[in-house]
Homo-oligomer: A and B are copies of this chain.
Amino acid sequence: MSSQKDHKLCMIPGPVEFHEDVLTSLSTPATSHVSPSFIPIFGESIELLRKVFLTEKGQPFVVSGSGTLGWDMVSSNLVEPDEDALVLNTGYFGDSFSECLGVYGAKVTQVKADIGDRTTIQEVSDALSSKSFKIITITHVDTSTGVLADVKGIAEVVKKQSPNTLIVVDGVCSAGCEELRFDEWGIDVVLTASQKALGVPPGLSILVASERAIQVFKNRKAPIPSYYASWAHWLPIMNAYESRKGMYFATPPVQLIYALNTSLKQITSIPLETRFEQHKKASNIIKDTVDSLGLKFVPKTREVAANGMTAVYYPEGIQPADLLQKVASHNVVIAGGLHRAIATKYFRIGHMGISVTEPERKHLDTVISALTSSLKELGYSGK
C-alpha cells in the first residue's frame, strides 16, 4: 500500500480511493486496442461485469465517457419520440435524467420526493395508473442527497401493475456497494460509472441491459437519434470483444479498461453478499459517529439512506468552506453539497470500495477523526 503518491485521502462520493494494483494497471504502456494482449482483458471485463451485477444474460456496455453518457444511451436507444417516461426524482440526478430524456423526445412525468425522502411504493403505483409508460427510471442512490431508493419494492409494483414498462436504474452511486440484483429483481437497465464503488478512475460509462431491453432496442421503429450513444454501434463491439475478437467503432480507453479488469477481479474475488454487508456496516459506523456528534442527516431516516455515502447538514454556526478546508488540513477530502435547493447547507462523505472492504487501511477511522477534530477546532461542541 506504499506505492501511491502522497495525497489527501479522498472520501467523497466518487471518485473514491483506488487500489494500488488498479493504478498500476491504469499505467499500462501503449497497447493496441486490437492487440492479442488487450482483447481478452476487455472480453473478460464484460464477463466479470455480469457477476458484479448478478445477471446471467444481461448485456454489459463499456464505453468511453462519464456516467452521464448512460442517460443518453437509455434515452436514445430505448425511448422513441413522444413515448412516456416516468422519473422517480430524489434529487439533482433525477432532474438531469429528466432533462436528458426530454432532449431525445420522451414525454417525462416526474414523481418528486421531498428533499431527503424517497418515493413511496404507493406514489409509484398511483403514477403507473395514470398512463402507460415505456420506461421508469429510479436513481438508486441520488449522490446529491444520499437517499436510497427501494429498487426491489418499486420493481415489484412495476412488474405487477405495468409489466411492459422497462425498469431503468441509475446505479452510478450504488453499483458495487448497494444490494442490487439485476436478474432476481427483474431490472432492465443499470447504468453506472467507473469512479464510484467499482473503484476505477473516472472515464468509463458502464451499463447493463436485459435481454428484453435489447429486444426493445432492436424492434424500435424510429431511428436512433444519437451517433455516439447508439447501441447499433456498440453492441457488435461488445459481442466481438467478448468472443475474443477485436473490432472497431471508436478507440476504447485501453488503460481504463485494464484498470477496470483489475478492480472487477478484486470485487468478484469475494461473494457480492459479503460486499453489500461490508458497506452496510461501514455506513453504520459513519452514521453512528455523525449521530453521536449531534449532526442531522439529509435523508430523513436510516432506512432511506445510502450505504456508500452519508449526507449531513452543517451544524449551526459552521460555514461550509470552513469545515471542508479544516478537514482538508487534516489531509482528508470530503465534499460539499450538490442539491441546488440546499447546496450550501450540507456536506457529503463517501465510503465505498477499498475504503470499506480493506479496513486495514483505516480510511473510516481517518475520516471520522478528521471530521471530529475539525468540528471541535471550529468551536462546535456537539449536542
- Chain A residues packing against B (C-beta within 8 Å): 4-5, 7-8, 10, 12, 14-18, 23-24, 26-35, 64-69, 71-72, 75, 99-100, 103-104, 193, 195, 201-203, 223-230, 248-256, 333, 335, 338
Cβ B227 vs Cβ A100 within 8 A: yes
Interface of A, secondary structure class, is loop
For A65, give its contact among B4, B69, B225 (CB under 8 Å): B69
Cβ B251 vs Cβ A66 within 8 A: yes
**Chain B contacts of A65 at CB under 8 A?**
64-65, 69, 228
Give 6 closest A-B pairs by Cβ, nearest first.
A203-B253, A66-B250, A10-B30, A68-B250, A100-B227, A27-B27
Q: List 18 A-B contacts (CB under 8 A).
A: A7-B30, A10-B31, A16-B30, A18-B30, A32-B333, A65-B69, A66-B251, A67-B250, A69-B228, A103-B227, A104-B227, A201-B253, A201-B255, A201-B256, A203-B253, A203-B255, A226-B226, A248-B338
Cβ B12 vs Cβ A29 within 8 A: no
Cβ A15 vs Cβ B28 within 8 A: no
Q: How far is the CB of A19 from chain B (nearest CB, A)?
A: 10
**Chain B contacts of A252 at CB under 8 A?**
66, 202
Q: How far is the CB of A167 from chain B (nearest CB, A)?
A: 21
For A251, give its contact among B75, B195, B248 (CB under 8 Å): B195
Cβ B103 vs Cβ A15 within 8 A: no
Q: How far is the CB of A190 from chain B (nearest CB, A)?
A: 18
CA distance A371 to B23 in the complex (A): 34
If A64-B203, A202-B251, A256-B203 touch, whether A27 touches B24 (CB-CB below 8 Å) is yes
**Chain B contacts of A251 at CB under 8 A?**
14-15, 66-67, 193, 195, 202
Query: Looking at A18, A66, A229, A248, which has the most chain B CB atoms within 10 Å of its CB?
Result: A66
If A67-B251, A228-B69 touch, whether A33 touches B15 (CB-CB below 8 Å) is yes
CA distance A251 to B65 in the complex (A): 9
CA distance A103 to B250 in the complex (A): 17
For A17, give its contact among B30, B100, B223, B338 (CB under 8 Å): B30
For A5, give its contact among B16, B29, B202, B225 (CB under 8 Å): B29
Query: Looking at A75, A251, A335, which has the most chain B CB atoms within 10 Å of its CB?
Result: A251
